[in-house]
């Protein structure tokens, strides 16, 4: 058994990895990647903080990955297929793999919100972004027709 103390896992300030024009920039989110610190490979678990005014991701759903969220502090708006629901400490969200419910988190409050996020790590996963010309594939981000987006630093 590995005991991991909270302060032993460094805080990472997230930078959006989405290609332009869908990039969300930086400053929205920070996290402690707990499962990486423990060497786990079958699922990922992170303690995430979504900062005031931030959005966690583009609206998406996963083909082969379950996602689970447990709210610890603060208040978030969960957006699912255009419907907004406020969640608070003790609330949980489950998004089943293969279920096309597009979702993201928004922090409309003026305080940070922290939650535990857990997801399976299926190497076949494809993330769908309804309304955007984008898929997240094992090879990287592509247009809906399969044409890859340039990687960071590459030109078209």
Per residue in 6-26, pLDDT (tens digit) is 789 999 999 999 999 999 999
In the chain the domains, ranked by start, together with CATH numbers, are 6-142 (2.60.120.10)
Euclidean distance between CA atoms 27 and 19, whole angstroms? 17
Residues of the chain with confidence (pLDDT) below 50: none
Euclidean distance between CA atoms 73 and 49, whole angstroms? 9
pLDDT digits (tens, 9 = 90+) for 129-142: 999 999 999 999 99
> What is residue 153's predicted lDDT score, i.e. its pLDDT?
65
Its pTM stands at: 0.92
Q: In 9-128, which residue ranges form alpha helices assigned H by DSSP?
A: 34-37
Residues 6+ apart with CB under 8 A from 76: 50, 86, 87, 105, 106, 107, 113, 115
């Amino acid at each position: 058994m590995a005991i991991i103390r909270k302060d032993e896992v460094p805080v990472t300030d997230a930078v959006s990895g989405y290609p332009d024009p869908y990039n969300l920039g930086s400053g929205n989110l920070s996290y402690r990647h707990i499962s990486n610190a423990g060497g786990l490979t079958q699922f990922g678990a992170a303690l995430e903080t979504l900062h005031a005014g931030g959005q966690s991701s583009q609206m998406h759903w996963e083909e082969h990955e379950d996602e689970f969220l447990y709210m610890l502090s603060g208040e978030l708006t969960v957006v699912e297929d255009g419907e907004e629901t406020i969640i608070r400490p003790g609330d949980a969200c489950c998004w089943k793999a293969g279920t096309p419910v597009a979702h993201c988190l928004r922090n409309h409050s003026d305080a940070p919100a922290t939650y535990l996020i857990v997801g399976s790590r299926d190497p076949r996963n494809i993330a769908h972004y309804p309304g955007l010309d984008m898929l997240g594939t094992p090879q990287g981000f592509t247009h809906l027709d399969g044409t890859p987006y340039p990687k960071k630093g590459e030109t078209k």
